[in-house]
Chains A and B, each alone.
Chain A
Amino acid sequence: QVQLVESGGGLVKPGGSLRLSCAASGFTFSDYYMSWIRQAPGKGLEWVSYIGSSNSDTNYADSVKGRFTISRDNAKNSLYLQMNSLRAEDTAVYYCARVSRGNYYFVYWGQGTLVTVSS
């Protein structure tokens, strides 16, 4: 069965950096686009970024463009999100999700990892 497990969240100071990971299993990882979606405490869902099957096709929400970088290692079945210049408003649970074939909706989600940006 499809499994997505995020890690790397934690407490970081404003201006700091953090790298999130998502370990995928139960499917051929290299065949699928992947995405990061976040949810601030008590708030709604916000799409953050997607990456194509290789590292060449990426896209970002305006709110994170220039600060966050999505990448993947197909040999390790892993997805990453490098987050730099973090702000208080980046505080959220970050979910990795598998993009449905050919359409950017999300059937499979990880359980999420909490990132808290605070001094």
Chain B
Amino acid sequence: DSQMIQSPSSLSTSVGDRVTITCRASQGIRNYLAWYQQKPGKVPKLLIYAASTLQPGVPSRFSGSGSGTDFTLTISSLQPEDAATYYCQKYNSAPYAFGQGTKLEIK
């Protein structure tokens, strides 16, 4: 089964910074990758699917790229409300594994 490894596990950055989170699949998954944002005490929110397609209503500062085994979530200009944990998820085939999460803190 393909596993999903995210890096870094945590990071602390400043408002306005460009942030990049990576997700690596142990086997190729084409572009069957989604990204979620989860704020403390809240339900996960879908940001991106098909590796790079923005879910309606998600701010355009979020973007995704990649295919095969290596994927990236980028926040172009970090805002205070982006403090959260971010998860990638593969969905090419079961099991639909999530990455372990990246906790993003604002300095």
Interface residues of A (CB under 8 A from B): 35, 44-47, 50, 59, 61-62, 95, 100, 103-107, 109-112
Contacts and interface: CB of A to CB of B under 8 A. Distances in A.
B44 interface: yes
B49 A103 contact: yes
Contacts of A104: 91, 94, 96
Given A45-B87, A105-B49, A110 B43 contact: yes
A21 B50 CA distance: 30
Given A44-B87, A59-B94, A109 B43 contact: yes
A74 to B, nearest CB: 22
B49 A100 contact: yes
Nearest to B94: A59
Contacts of A105: 34, 46, 49, 89, 91
B1 to A, nearest CB: 8
A68 to B, nearest CB: 13
- With most chain B CB atoms within 10 A of its CB, the pick from A35, A62, A103, A106 is A106
Do most interface residues of chain A lie in helix, strand or loop, or is the interface mixed?
strand
Interface residues of B, number: 23
B58 to A, nearest CB: 11
Given A44-B87, A44-B100, A100-B49, A109 B44 contact: yes
Nearest to B102: A44
Given A44-B101, A107-B55, A50 B94 contact: yes
A110 B95 CA distance: 21
A79 B85 CA distance: 28
Contacts of A107: 46, 55
Nearest to B42: A111
Given A105-B49, A112-B43, A61 B89 contact: no
A50 B93 CA distance: 12
B68 to A, nearest CB: 17
Nearest to B33: A105
Given A100-B49, A103-B49, A107-B55, A95 B43 contact: yes
B96 A47 contact: yes
